[in-house]
Amino acid sequence: MDDYVDAIVSELSLREDYLVDKEISTIYFGGGTPSLMSSVQLLKILDKIKERFAVKSDAEITLECNPENVNSSYLRELESIGVNRISLGVQFLDDKILERFNRKHSKVLIMNALYVLMSSRIENISVDLIYSVPGISDESLISSLKLLLDYDIKHFSAYSLTIAKNSKLYWKVRSGEVVENDENSFISQYCLINNELISKGYKQYEVSNYAKEDFVSRHNLAYWNQIPYLGVGVSAHSYNLYSRQWNIKSIKKYINNSKKGIIDFDIESLTDVEKYNEYIILKLRTYQGISNNYVLNNFGENIYRHFHKNMLKLKNKGHFEFIGDLVISKMSDLLLADYLAKNLVY
C-alpha cells in the first residue's frame, strides 16, 4: 500500500500542469476502498496536492468509507488532516442481501458506523443506497430508509442496481437463479425513495442525488458541469474540456512505471459533437438545465438548429420547464432522461 501511495504522489508531481486552473475546490478519495488507508498515507497525498496546487481554504475533501472501517479514533485522525466529508457505502440494510452481494459489513455495523459518524466533528455525511434489488421489497426499502432518516445525514445517493456483464450476478440472472426486477418495480422504488427524501427536506439536484440545504456534493456537480478534473491512481479518469484520458488498470505496472517517471494512459480527443452530446446528457440529469445560448455559442449553428428543433418536439409532448434561457427537466422527465437525451443528441 505504501508503494501505491508513493506512486500516486509521483503522478501528482508529473501531472501538475494538466489543469490550467490550479485552484482546487474539491478533492475526492474514491473506490476501491480508500478507508483502508491510514491517515498518514492520506496526509502524504494531501500534502503533495497542496504542494503542487492551490487548494481553497474551504475545499470539500471527501473520503469514501466502508462501515467496517469507521471508528472514533480514525475519524478524529481524518478530521485532523482536513477531511470534511464522508461518503458511507451502505448499499442495503438487509443482512441476507448484503451477504449475497459479498459485502463485508452487516446492518449492525452500518448502524454503529452511523452512530460513530454522528458523534464525530465531521458534519457532512453522505450515504449511498442501491434499490431495485432482487429480494428487497418496497416495504423493506422504505423501512430501511426510515431507519437511516433517524440520523442527521446530509446527502443521499440512490442508484438502481446495475448488473455488469459477466459478473456473478449476471450469470445468476442468466441461469434463472436470480430474477431481475422488472421496470414497474424499479419505478415504484425510485418513487418511494424520491417521495420520502423530498418530504423530509432533501432537494433532488440530480437524478440519483439528494441533499439538505448547503450540502450538495460540490465534487459531483463539477463532473455534471463539465469542469476539468485530474484523476490520479490506477484506472483514474481525467478531463480537460478537450480530451478525456484514463490510467492503466494494472497496479503492479502503475507502481513500476511511476518509479521511472512514466504515466501510462489512453486518451480520446473530443469533437464538438461529442462535447455537445455530453453536455446534453449530463444537464438533463440535473436541476440546472440546458442553456440555449450555451449550445448556440459553443457548438455552432448546425448543432443548435438540431437541438432547437428536437427540443420543441419534446416540448409539444409536455416535457421540460422553461425559465429564461434554460430548458429544465421536470421531475417526471428525470425518469426519462435517457429517452430525452436520445432525442436531443446529435
Contact 50, 76 (CB under 8 A): no
Residue 211 domain flag: yes
Q: Count CB-CB contacts under 10 A for residue 311.
A: 21
N-terminal to C-terminal alpha carbon distance within the chain: 45
Domain assignment present for residue 8? The answer is no
Considering the domain architecture, whether residues 36 and 179 belong to the same structural domain is answered as: yes
Q: Domain for residue 204, yes or no?
A: yes
- Asked if 180 and 173 count as a contact pair (C-beta separation under 8 A), the reply is yes
Note whether residue 7 is domain-resident: no
State the average pLDDT over residues 304-316.
96
Asked which of 57-61, 83-87, 132-136 is least confident by mean pLDDT, the reply is 132-136
Residue located via cell numbers 465531521: 122
Does one domain contain both 164 and 121?
Answer: yes
Tens-digit pLDDT profile for residues 102-122: 666 678 889 999 999 999 999
**Number of domains, the chain:** 3
Model pLDDT, residue 103: 67
Q: Are strands 54-65 and 23-29 parallel, antiparallel or unpaired?
A: parallel
| 107 in a structural domain | yes
Closest CA to 173 of 124, 132, 225: 132
The overall average pLDDT reported for the chain is 92
Domain that includes residue 166, residue range: 22-224
Q: Which of 224, 255, 285 lies at the terminal end of a domain, its last residue?
A: 224
DSSP codes of every residue in 58-99: EEEEEEEE-GGG--HHHHHHHHHHT--EEEEEEE-S-HHHHH
Amino acid at residue number 342: K
- Record the pTM: 0.91
Whether residue 162 lies inside any domain: the answer is: yes
Answer whether residue 9 is part of any domain: no
Furthest CA-CA distance within the chain: 59
Instruction: Give CA–CA dist 267/274, Å, rounded.
Output: 14
For residues 178 and 75, membership in a common domain is answered with: yes
Question: Is 2 contained in some domain?
Answer: no
Read off the pLDDT of residues 260-304 as tens digits, 9 standing for 90 and up: 999 999 999 999 999 999 999 999 998 889 999 999 999 989 999
53 in helix, strand or coil? coil
Does one domain contain both 262 and 320? no
